[in-house]
Amino acid sequence: MEERGDFHYSLRMHRIQRKGGKLYMEGVSVEALADRHGTPLYIYSAGTILDHYRRLRGVLRALNPLVCYSVKANSNLAILNLLARAGSGFDVVSGGELERVRKAGGMAAKCVFAGVGKTEEEIEAGLRAGVKAFHVESEEELQAIAAVAGRKKGRWAPVALRVNPDVAAGGHAKITTGTYANKFGIPFEEVAAIYRRAAGNRYLRLRGIQMHIGSQITQAAPFRAAVRKMVPLVARLRDRYGIDYFDIGGGVGIVYQDALASGQQGWWKTPKAQRFMTLHEYAVSLVSLLRELRMQILLEPGRFLVGNAGMLVTEVLYRKQTGKKHFTVVDAGMNDLIRPTLYEAFHQIEPVGKPRPGAIATDVVGPVCESGDVFGHDRTLPPVERGDRLAILSAGAYGFAMASNYNTRPRPAEILVTGSRARVVRVRESLADLWRGERKS
């Protein structure tokens, strides 16, 4: 481990550890939480979220950045409030997310409003709230924002263009955003001309410029390549139009497996090991380029702050053996955590109780009526029995936030743990909740 911020956080560093063989989140027994609140169950560590926020700001302290947490990663009000009290800003992509931030105590003036398809109602909401800026993804959107502002007497809209630098970031095709094959941003070559035209519009104020090249990026090189390409353009726009910030986006990846973390090697099979950049390497690759701009620097981390802070706890319902496969059927499904189905994502799976001796190779699957409802193929786990609980780790980002009611399944409860205290931050949905608002005729 590197003291300066290695991405290879161990389970203990996530505040997930074993005591007497049993899994704990901070100072609270995971088994006890499952007994009390049922499963499936999301559990988050407040300490991990704050630790990651402070580490990120710490390695970039030379820039004094404004960290704008990407709300789409996990939008629970308690998590938003935790970060707001720590001083975080927010990156929102809908009117609903903006209202969530305000409800949680966040400041609209520290919110950037992104998204390729803002409606006029959302633009009006952002103007009323007083967001820091709209991050604009097309010239037509810029014209729409100006038109909405023009209908408000004495109002103007703060804007920053999102630039697509055409830099490939690697990773899954569904989460890359920085190439011309993606729907996001304005092509690099067109940006200067659009700023020139926007500067003449009295209903717009040019506040900054933004980029975001993708998600779950594990190497420093793509970040540095994109920033290096952007810096000369940013400097010209700063000098010509007085823009005051450069938002370099988010995308910092996390480790989804760490077979050595628990000290019990051999329980599972993991993908081929990959060396991840450290936070120190990330900072070193960017600080020298950005410091010379003498502008406010914004970051938009999401997964990095909350991903390794959460787990989804599920109970074993049945075991079955076909002619070729062993299956462990659990009560969580793809409607609760869709990442493995949608992105072929790997999540480490751990027994919640004290592991039994031995090992089995099994597919961990859910009850949803889809063949893709699988959390892990051919995982090597300790033998499990009906009623055992399993923890699906690194589920704090794009877990509950992407959950649905498919198969008419209520969404799980959410628990936030702080030290030895655990509190329910979202109650489990009831069946009646699922058809509230519907009409039979």
Give residues with Cβ within 8 angstroms of 337, minimum separation 6. Answer: 312, 347, 375, 392, 395, 399, 402, 403
Query: For position 261, what pLDDT does the model report?
Result: 42
DSSP of 120-185, one letter per residue? Answer: HHHHHHHHHHT-SEEEE-SHHHHHHHHHHHHTSTT--EEEEEEEE------S-GGGB-SSTTSSSS
Contact between 108 and 98 under an 8 Å Cβ cutoff? The reply is yes
- Which superfamily does CATH assign the domain made up of 46-305 to? Alanine racemase (3.20.20.10)
Query: For position 417, what pLDDT does the model report?
Result: 98
Question: What pTM, to 2 d.p., does this model score?
Answer: 0.91
Query: For position 264, what pLDDT does the model report?
Result: 34
Query: For position 257, what pLDDT does the model report?
Result: 77
Contact between 294 and 15 under an 8 Å Cβ cutoff? The reply is no
| Mean pLDDT, residues 2-19 | 55
Quote the CA–CA distance of 405 and 335 in Å, as a whole number. 6
| Mean pLDDT, residues 357-361 | 96
- Which superfamily does CATH assign the domain made up of 308-432 to? Lyase, Ornithine Decarboxylase; Chain A, domain 1 (2.40.37.10)
Query: For position 3, what pLDDT does the model report?
Result: 35
Query: For position 9, what pLDDT does the model report?
Result: 41
pLDDT digit string (tens) for 283-312? Answer: 999 999 999 999 999 999 999 999 999 999
Strands 310-321 and 41-45: antiparallel
- State yes or no: pLDDT of 171 exceeds 70: no
Contact between 276 and 220 under an 8 Å Cβ cutoff? The reply is no
Active site residue 369: yes
Closest CA to 95 of 151, 134, 138: 134
- State yes or no: pLDDT of 252 exceeds 70: yes
Quote the CA–CA distance of 429 and 433 in Å, as a whole number. 6
Q: How confident is the model at residue 268 (pLDDT cuts 50, 70, 90)?
A: very low
Query: For position 271, what pLDDT does the model report?
Result: 45
Query: For position 258, what pLDDT does the model report?
Result: 64
pLDDT digit string (tens) for 413-437? Answer: 999 999 999 999 999 999 999 999 9
Query: For position 266, what pLDDT does the model report?
Result: 31
Percent of the chain at pLDDT above 70?
89
- State yes or no: pLDDT of 378 exceeds 70: yes
Query: For position 169, what pLDDT does the model report?
Result: 56
Considering Cα of 148, then 151, then 152, then 156, what sign does the dihedral take?
A: positive
- State yes or no: pLDDT of 342 exceeds 60: yes
Catalytic residue among 20, 358, 369, 439: 369
Contact between 365 and 374 under an 8 Å Cβ cutoff? The reply is yes
| Mean pLDDT, residues 132-151 | 96
- State yes or no: pLDDT of 263 exceeds 80: no
- State yes or no: pLDDT of 52 exceeds 90: yes
CA dihedral 195, 196, 202, 205 (to 10 degrees): 30
The residue ranges of every structural domain in the chain are 46-305, 308-432
| Mean pLDDT, residues 51-57 | 95
Packed helices 191-199 and 220-241: angle between N→C axes, nearest 10 degrees: 30
Quote the CA–CA distance of 426 and 429 in Å, as a whole number. 9
Same fold, 46-305 and 308-432: no
Query: For position 15, what pLDDT does the model report?
Result: 85
How does the average pLDDT of the chain come out, rounded?
Answer: 90
Q: How confident is the model at residue 182 (pLDDT cuts 50, 70, 90)?
A: low
Q: Which of 19-33, 125-139, 170-184 has the least mean pLDDT? A: 170-184
Q: How confident is the model at residue 7 (pLDDT cuts 50, 70, 90)?
A: very low
Contact between 76 and 425 under an 8 Å Cβ cutoff? The reply is yes
| Mean pLDDT, residues 360-370 | 97
Pick 119 or 15 by higher pLDDT.
Answer: 119
- State yes or no: pLDDT of 13 exceeds 70: no
Strand order in the sheet with 28-29: 16-19, 22-25, 28-29
